[in-house]
Amino acid sequence: MFRRNRKTDERSEYRARQSERATAAPLLADEFPQLRLLSMELGQYDLDGLTRISQMKQTLNLENTSSIVRIHCGNMDCVRGDFDLTHDLAEAAASRRGTATGELRCEGWRNKACIEKVRCGRILRYKLTLEYV
pLDDT in tens, 73-115: 999 999 999 999 999 999 999 999 999 999 999 999 999 898 8
The strand order across the sheet containing 35-45 reads 52-60, 35-45, 123-132, 99-105
pLDDT digits (tens, 9 = 90+) for 56-79: 999 999 999 999 999 999 999 999
CA pair distance 109, 75, nearest whole angstrom: 10
pTM of the model: 0.85
Domains and CATH numbers, the chain: 28-132 (3.10.50)
Q: Which residues face 100 on adjacent strands?
A: 128
Residue 60 and residue 106 in contact, taking contact as beta carbons nearer than 8 Å: no
* Conformational region of residue 82, where left means phi above 0, alpha means psi within -120 to 50, and beta covers everything else: left
Does position 4 have pLDDT exceeding 70, yes or no?
no
CA pair distance 83, 94, nearest whole angstrom: 20
